[in-house]
């Protein structure tokens, strides 16, 4: 059977190379990738909605309001699947994609094509306070990566196809093809050229058409603008921009704070138990934290905050608008906590949609405070709800253009374009100057594995240290005599530098040919002087597995050295020469900018 399949694939390859140009084939693949990402998104949504509907109809949970115990059940199911089926540690969806682009030549494990389709609905359907966008993007990315490998597509084009998959997924979920393209550019640091633009466009169209085909005219947000932007409200939108910036910084810091809080709990079972109970308590007091939260957003957009808040222990006081404001502000505060706790406890999901929920609550709170301040001001609560979402997306994701165009497409027009630009830009500027990296990128940036729009940094990130290490240096030992060194190493070497190591291969230092030149022809010294007499420390060390290529380049710049030793756990591995490093950099730059 495998032999027949290989023969069939070879026939397809031959036919493709003969009849379809590379450019046309990429366009075809981008359409296919958009379709697959769209199907993944639709599948994720439908499975999740089925689980939620089934649980909602359950007599035990609906009549006794015991839904707050569901997250721990969902997390348990995810834990069992990961332990006995997946058998690998779960990684954050978007961060793992970014790592594969920078360090794994856009190769993604085939298991990722279906894993998120199972564990994300279990997490969200049972009340985990995360979103489905990240899993949809991860699934589409895995499908596109493996499709690219199947057709022997090079790593650069596979990276483009992964970006196309993200565009297709977002376009399908939000039915917003323009924002989907911009997201791929902003988050995956893709250069927006005509070479990348057309595949992204085709994938985005393919994704949104898939959504229309399977979901019909069903939309996430049933909203139309009834109150256009008024210049007199400009200062309030500026204030909202500052508020969403503060919330974005809080969101990011809370995420890493809770993740670090769970680290001492080594056993996944303890994480599951602690996290599940914590989420359950939050759901009991703040029911809208259950699941993704699209119903919450829609109710706020309709102006029905009672329905949005659901049944809470403070129902007796819900007639007081300041109690409503306090509860909505509680959602702003605790959505980040619930989301991160879900992920830290072993759940699977994304942060994009929780960001929108938090932003919608904050925007509505700001509008309600303005309208009930007694100062005679009146603003549109639904508009502020929308623009609050844009402010949080711009701040948390560092993606202001995605935020602007996503909300503009959701509202079906550009009537709110000016306030969107005001709030999103202020939120982004303040957050970017306070928090250098997003939840997606911080760990990658710290390890030097992050690709950015900075071409120099991107090229260095794509380079691998292994490709520039040279090992054709003759080793010497500190107890060797000068005569032994000259006979065994210098005479047989084409290099003018000699690494000194001990019996256990630990790196001790270097000897330069210039250091021994004046003694080379004095045979009286051959048996009396030891190698250790000439040894010196190198101007800098390169630490294998620790130093990023950016740091390696910086060490050459600071030390002015032409060769630097590479060590791993103190053991000698080889040398990196400045000339080879620059040659490799130039080669990678040409490949990157082709």
249 and 197: one domain? Answer: no
Mean pLDDT of 440-457: 62
Which one, of 127, 126, 128, 219, lies nearest residue 172 by Cα? 219
pLDDT category at 217 given cuts 50, 70, 90 is low
Sheet arrangement for strand 542-543: 469-470, 571-577, 563-568, 542-543
| Mean pLDDT of the 249-264 span | 91
pLDDT band of residue 447 (cuts 50, 70, 90) is low
276 shares a domain with 255: yes
Q: What is the dihedral of CA 288, 289, 290, 292, to 10 degrees?
A: 100
Q: Which long-range contacts (CB under 8 A, 24 or more apart) does 328-332 make?
A: 328/361, 328/364, 328/365, 328/368, 329/361, 329/362, 329/365, 330/285, 330/286, 331/286, 331/288, 331/289, 331/296, 331/357, 331/358, 331/361, 332/247, 332/358, 332/361, 332/362, 332/365
Q: How many CB atoms lie within 10 A of CB 432?
A: 17
Same domain, 287 and 370: yes
Query: Residue 553: pLDDT band by 50, 70, 90 thresholds?
Result: confident
CATH code of 501's domain: 3.10.580.10
Q: How far apart are CA 490 and CA 481, in angstroms?
A: 12
38 lies in some domain? yes
**Does residue 544 or residue 94 have the better pLDDT?**
544
pLDDT in the model for residue 388: 94
Q: Tell me phi and psi for residue 225, to 5 degrees.
A: -75, 125
Q: Identify the pLDDT of residue 253.
A: 92
In a domain, 194, yes or no: yes
Question: Is residue 226 a part of any domain in this protein?
Answer: no
Domain extent at residue 131: 2-215
d(CA 214, CA 207) in angstroms, rounded, equals 11
Residues 183 and 202 in one domain: yes
Q: How confident is the model at residue 448 (pLDDT cuts 50, 70, 90)?
A: low
pLDDT of residue 226: 72
Res. 350: pLDDT tops 50: yes
| 549 vs 63: CA distance, rounded Å | 60
Output 153 or 450, whichever has higher pLDDT.
153
Asked, for residue 521, whether it belongs to a domain, the answer is yes
351 with 479, same domain: the answer is no
Verify that 395 and 315 share a domain, yes or no: yes
Same domain, 287 and 354: yes
Question: Where is mean pLDDT largest: 201-215, 224-238, 281-295?
Answer: 201-215
- The answer, yes or no, to whether residue 594 has pLDDT greater than 70, is no
Res. 247: pLDDT tops 90: yes
**What number of helices (H) and strands (E) belong to the chain?**
25, 6
Residues 204 and 270 in one domain: no
Mean pLDDT of the chain: 83
Indicate whether 65 belongs to any domain. Answer: yes
496 in a domain, yes or no?
yes
**180 and 205 both lie in a single domain:** yes
66 pLDDT exceeds 80?
no
pLDDT per residue over 398-419, tens digit each? 889 999 998 888 876 678 889 9
Calculate mean pLDDT across residues 224-230.
77
Instruction: Kindly report, residue by residue over 565-576, the tens digit of the pLDDT.
Output: 999 988 998 998
Distance CA 52, CA 71 (A): 12
- Taking residues 250-261, report their average pLDDT: 91
Is the confidence at residue 62, as pLDDT, over 50? no
- Residue that is last in its domain, among 415, 448, 481: 448
Best CA proximity match to 124, nearest among 404, 447, 398, 347 = 347
* Contact yes or no for 381/368 (Cβ under 8 A): yes
Q: Could you report the per-residue pLDDT of 468-483, keeping only the tens digit for each?
A: 888 888 888 888 887 8
Does the pLDDT value for residue 223 go beyond 80? no
pLDDT digits over 171-200, tens only? 998 888 888 998 888 877 666 666 778 899
Which CA distances in Å does 128 have to 76, 225, 277, 542? 12, 31, 12, 44
Q: What percent of the chain has pLDDT over 70?
A: 89
498 contact partners, CB below 8 Å, separation of at least 6 = 473, 474, 475, 476, 485, 489, 490, 510, 511, 512, 513
Q: Please determine, for residue 312, whether its predicted confidence score (pLDDT) is greater than 80.
A: no
Q: Which long-range contacts (CB under 8 A, 24 or more apart) does 331-334 make?
A: 331/286, 331/288, 331/289, 331/296, 331/357, 331/358, 331/361, 332/247, 332/358, 332/361, 332/362, 332/365, 333/250, 334/282, 334/286, 334/289
pLDDT (tens digit per residue) in 358-379: 999 999 999 999 999 888 888 9
How far is 49 from 77, CA to CA, in rounded Å? 17
* 304 shares its domain with 196: no
Query: Which stretches does DSSP call E strand in 446-558?
Result: 469-470, 497-501, 507-512, 542-543
Say whether both 443 and 463 belong to one domain: no
What integer is the mean pLDDT of 235-260? 93
Question: How confident is residue 101, by pLDDT bands cut at 50, 70 and 90?
Answer: confident
In a domain, 224, yes or no: no
pLDDT at 591: 63
Name the pairing type of β-strands 469-470 and 571-577.
antiparallel
Place of tokens 């829609």: 298
pLDDT tens-digit map of 113-135? 889 999 999 999 888 889 888 89
Residues 292-297 have a mean pLDDT of 86
Q: Taking residues 25-34, report their average pLDDT.
A: 90
Asked which of 9-18, 267-276, 336-345 is least confident by mean pLDDT, the reply is 9-18
Is 0.85 surpassed by the pTM of this model? Answer: no
**Are 494 and 589 part of one and the same domain?**
yes
Token output for 222: 């049933």
Q: Which of 448, 466, 500 is the last residue of a domain?
A: 448
CATH code for position 413? 1.10.3080.10
Q: Strand 563-568 and strand 542-543: pairing?
A: parallel
Q: How far apart are CA 19 and CA 415, in angstroms?
A: 47
Average the pLDDT over 305-309 and give the result: 82
Question: Domain count of the chain?
Answer: 3
Please check whether residue 390 is in contact with residue 420, taking contact to mean a CB–CB distance below 8 angstroms: yes
> What distances in angstroms separate CA 55 from CA 130, 191, 582, one per listed residue?
18, 45, 60
Question: In the prediction, which pLDDT does 449 show?
Answer: 55
Q: Under a CB-based contact definition with an 8 Å cutoff, are residues 576 and 566 in contact?
A: yes
- DSSP-assigned letters across all residues of 46-75: HHHHHHHHHHHH-HHHHHHT-GGGHHHHHH
Burial class (CB in 10 A: 0-12, 13-18, 19+), 475: middle
Stretch 198-205: mean pLDDT, rounded?
91
What is the rounded (10 degree) CA torsion for 432, 434, 436, 438?
A: -70
Domain boundary among 448, 482, 513: 448
- Give yes or no for residue 320 having a pLDDT over 70: yes
Bridge partners (DSSP) of residue 577 are 563
Please give the share of the chain, as a percent, with pLDDT higher than 90.
Answer: 23
* Cα angle for residues 23, 26, 27 (degrees, 5° grid): 90
Which DSSP symbol is given to 83?
A: I
3-state secondary structure of 575: strand
- Find the range with the poorest average confidence among 54-58, 159-163, 487-491, 577-581: 54-58
Sign of the CA dihedral with 463 first, then 465, 467, and 470 last: positive
Is residue 223 assigned to a domain? Answer: no
pLDDT score recorded for residue 367 = 93
């Amino acid at each position: 059977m495998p032999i027949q399949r290989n023969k069939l694939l070879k026939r397809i390859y031959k036919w493709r190379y003969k009849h379809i140009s590379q450019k046309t084939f990429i366009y075809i693949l981008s359409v296919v990738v958009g379709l697959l990402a769209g199907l993944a998104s639709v599948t994720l949504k439908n499975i999740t909605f089925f689980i939620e509907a089934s649980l909602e109809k359950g007599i035990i949970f609906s009549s006794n309001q015991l839904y707050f115990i569901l997250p721990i059940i969902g997390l348990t199911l995810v834990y069992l699947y990961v332990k006995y089926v997946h058998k690998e540690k779960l990684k954050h969806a978007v961060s793992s994609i970014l790592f594969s682009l920078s360090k794994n030549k856009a190769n993604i494990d085939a298991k990722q094509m279906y894993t998120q389709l199972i564990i994300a609905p279990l997490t969200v359907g049972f009340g985990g306070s995360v979103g489905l966008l990240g899993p949809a993007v991860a699934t589409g990315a895995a499908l596109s990566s493996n499709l690219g490998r199947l057709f022997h597509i090079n790593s650069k084009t596979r990276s483009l196809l992964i970006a196309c998959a993200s565009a297709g997924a977002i376009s399908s979920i939000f039915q917003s093809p323009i924002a989907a393209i911009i997201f791929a550019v902003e988050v995956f640091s893709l250069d927006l050229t005509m070479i990348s633009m057309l595949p992204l466009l085709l994938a985005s169209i393919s994704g949104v058409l898939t959504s229309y085909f399977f979901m019909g005219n069903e939309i996430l947000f049933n909203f139309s603008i009834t109150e256009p932007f008024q210049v007199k409200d400009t200062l309030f939108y500026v204030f909202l921009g500052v508020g969403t910036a503060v919330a974005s910084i809080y969101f990011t810091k809370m995420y890493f704070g809770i993740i670090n809080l769970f680290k001492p709990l080594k056993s996944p079972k303890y994480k599951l138990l602690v996290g599940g109970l914590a989420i359950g308590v939050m759901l009991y007091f703040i029911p809208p934290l259950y699941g993704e939260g699209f119903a919450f957003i829609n109710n706020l957009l309709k102006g029905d905050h009672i329905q949005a808040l659901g049944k809470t222990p403070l129902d007796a006081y819900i007639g007081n608008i300041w109690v409503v404001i306090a509860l909505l502000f509680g959602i702003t505060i605790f959505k980040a906590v619930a989301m991160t706790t879900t992920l830290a406890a072993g759940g699977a999901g994304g942060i994009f949609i929780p960001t929108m929920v938090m932003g919608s609550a904050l925007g509505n709170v700001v509008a309600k405070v303005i309208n009930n301040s007694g100062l005679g001001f009146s603003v549109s609560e639904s508009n502020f709800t929308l623009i609050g979402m844009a402010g949080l997306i711009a701040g948390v994701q560092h993606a202001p253009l995605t935020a602007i165009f996503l909300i503009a497409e959701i509202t079906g027009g550009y009537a709110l374009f000016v306030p969107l630009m005001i709030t999103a830009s202020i939120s982004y500027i303040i957050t970017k100057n306070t928090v250098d990296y997003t939840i997606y990128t911080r760990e990658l940036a710290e390890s030097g594995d992050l690709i950015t729009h900075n071409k120099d940094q991107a090229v260095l990130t794509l380079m691998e240290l292994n490709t520039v290490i040279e090992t054709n240096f003759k080793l010497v030992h500190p107890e060797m005599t000068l005569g032994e060194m000259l006979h065994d190493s210098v005479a047989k070497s084409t290099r003018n530098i000699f690494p000194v190591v001990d019996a256990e291969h630990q790196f001790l230092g270097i000897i330069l040919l210039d250091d021994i030149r004046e003694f080379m022809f004095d045979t009286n010294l051959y048996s009396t002087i030891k190698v250790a007499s000439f040894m010196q420390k190198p101007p800098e060390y390169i630490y294998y597995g620790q130093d990023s290529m950016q740091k390696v380049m910086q060490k050459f710049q600071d030390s002015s050295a032409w060769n630097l030793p590479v060590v791993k756990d103190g053991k000698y591995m080889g040398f990196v020469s400045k000339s080879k490093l620059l040659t490799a950099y130039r080669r990678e730059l040409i490949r990157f900018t082709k």
